[in-house]
């Protein structure tokens, strides 16, 4: 197949890890006979340095014209002051809004070769394969806000339609995996959660009767994903709960550098990026872990291009690379020689071939 993939490397280590993901996409195209066009454009602080804007019109137009977007990382210490009117982070928020991306997917898969890098005991990590589906555009982050010298408020609001679309996506994903969905809320306290639970039950019963559904309060969920992580399949939850829960779950694989993500909307186009930041303290040193970005590229193949076989092959190549001990310093075994960013990328390409 032919596909146009917008490549937005961004700031810090973004260009380094994106370079390796692009190498892997080119290797996939070569092996399976596809034609991938991979035009690049600046975003974040890199774009601000060139144009004064974190999301230039040309970059947005490229993203709109593409079948999918591969994103690196954004952020620069020069623009860290939260009072600044223009900041690099506005680029990713703008992309999500303009592309209509309302669902954030974050997988957490553990690999035996790097169990030592996780804070959990190895016996808890066997067989962990969790996919969190987080609602991305509603809830308390986007509700009406007020603040005075003596008080402040943030409104948490959801409509049934907003809940339906995220639950429908989570249901499809659960049906294609192990058939289990855990919906996380706080229905013992919050009205939004009571609506959430009611909509989950209605949508799942009508459209995905083959999927087993479990409801769990957010406080219990934060405990159980550490106590028995292998029991979870797909988790669906609202914006703030998902923000907190996905950061906790990201510790299971052993490093932020191993964790990919996808942001999806109604169509097939999505934005794919590692969950780590721009890490300016290690930028340019060739030590950043590219696996999260490479695995994000695998998600791109699966969800936007429909290339499930190719996605699985790329994920398997990453797993074999880790199993063979070709690891950057964040997950290398104590005393082992750490590989560079480029060496890990080359190792994945070799194992894919």
What integer pLDDT is reported at residue 209 of this predicted model? Answer: 98
The CATH number that applies at residue 307 is: 3.40.718.10
What is the pLDDT averaged over residues 186-198?
98
Range 248-257 average pLDDT: 95
Print the domain residue range for 80: 1-101+279-353
Is 39 inside a domain boundary?
Answer: yes
Query: Is 182 domain-assigned?
Result: no
Q: Looking at the annotation, which residues are catalytic?
A: 141, 186, 219, 243, 247
Question: What average pLDDT score do residues 188-197 get?
Answer: 98
pLDDT on residue 196: 98
Residue 222 above 90 pLDDT? Answer: yes
161 lies in a domain?
no
Residue 146 lies in a domain: no
**Does residue 23 have a pLDDT over 90?**
yes
Does residue 22 belong to any structural domain of this protein? yes
Distance CA 107, CA 148 (A): 40
Q: What is the pLDDT of residue 282?
A: 97
Q: What is the mean pLDDT of residues 246-266?
A: 96
**Token pair listed for 304:** 């936007």
Number of other CB atoms surrounding residue 74 within 10 Å: 29
Closest CA to 114 of 337, 352, 330: 330
In tens, the pLDDT along 34-85 reads 999 999 999 999 999 999 999 999 999 999 999 999 999 999 999 988 889 9
Task: Output the pLDDT for position 100.
Answer: 94
Rounded mean pLDDT of 327-347? 96
* pTM as predicted: 0.95
Q: Give the N- to C-terminal CA distance of the chain in Å, as an integer.
A: 19
pLDDT category, 313, cuts 50, 70, 90?
very high
Percent of the chain residues past pLDDT 70, beyond the cut: 100
Tokens, residue 31: 């092996």
**Residue 82: what pLDDT?**
82
Beta bridge partners of 35: 2
Q: Give domain status of residue 67, yes or no.
A: yes
pLDDT of residue 83: 85
% residues pLDDT > 90 (the chain) = 97
Q: How many CB atoms lie within 10 A of CB 267?
A: 10
In the DSSP assignment, the letter for residue 120 is S
d(CA 244, CA 85): 26
| Overall number of domains in the chain | 1
Task: Say if residues 258 and 344 touch (Cβ distance below 8 Å).
Answer: no
Which stretch of 13-22, 39-48, 76-85, 229-238 has the lowest confidence by average pLDDT? 76-85
Average pLDDT of the chain to the nearest whole number = 97
Q: Which of 305, 278, 248 is nearest to 106 (CA)?
A: 248
């Amino acid at each position: 197949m032919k596909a146009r993939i917008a490549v937005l490397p961004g700031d810090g280590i973004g260009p380094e890890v994106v370079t390796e993901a692009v190498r892997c996409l080119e290797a996939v195209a070569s092996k399976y006979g596809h034609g991938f066009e991979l035009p690049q454009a600046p975003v974040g602080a890199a774009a601000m340095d060139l144009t004064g804007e974190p999301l230039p019109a040309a970059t947005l137009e490229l993203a709109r014209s593409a079948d999918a977007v591969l994103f690196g990382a954004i952020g620069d210490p020069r623009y860290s002051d939260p009072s600044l009117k223009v900041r690099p982070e506005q680029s990713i928020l703008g992309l999500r809004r303009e592309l209509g991306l309302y669902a954030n997917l974050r997988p957490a898969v553990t690999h035996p070769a790097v169990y030592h890098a996780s804070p959990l005991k190895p016996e808890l990590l066997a067989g962990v394969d969790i996919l969190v589906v987080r609602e991305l555009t509603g809830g308390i982050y986007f509700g009406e806000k007020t603040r005075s010298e003596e008080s402040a408020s943030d409104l948490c609001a959801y409509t049934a339609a907003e809940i339906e679309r995220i639950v429908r996506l989570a249901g499809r994903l659960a049906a294609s995996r192990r058939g289990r969905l855990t919906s996380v809320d706080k229905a013992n306290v919050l009205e939004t959660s009571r609506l959430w639970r009611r909509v989950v039950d209605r949508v799942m019963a009508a459209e995905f009767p083959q999927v087993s559904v479990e409801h769990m309060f957010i406080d219990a969920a934060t405990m159980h994903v550490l106590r028995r992580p292998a029991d979870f399949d797909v988790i669906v939850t609202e914006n703030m709960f998902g923000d907190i829960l996905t950061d906790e779950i990201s510790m299971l694989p052993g490093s932020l550098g191993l964790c990919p993500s996808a942001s999806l909307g109604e169509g097939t186009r999505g934005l794919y990026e590692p969950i780590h930041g721009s890490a300016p303290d290690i930028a340019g040193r060739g030590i950043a872990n590219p696996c999260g970005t490479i695995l994000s590229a695998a998600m791109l193949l699966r969800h936007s291009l429909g290339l499930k076989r190719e996605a699985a092959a790329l994920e398997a190549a990453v797993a074999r690379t880790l199993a063979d001990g070709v690891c950057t310093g964040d997950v290398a075994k104590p005393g082992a020689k750490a590989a560079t960013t480029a060496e890990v990328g080359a190792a994945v390409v070799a194992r894919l071939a």
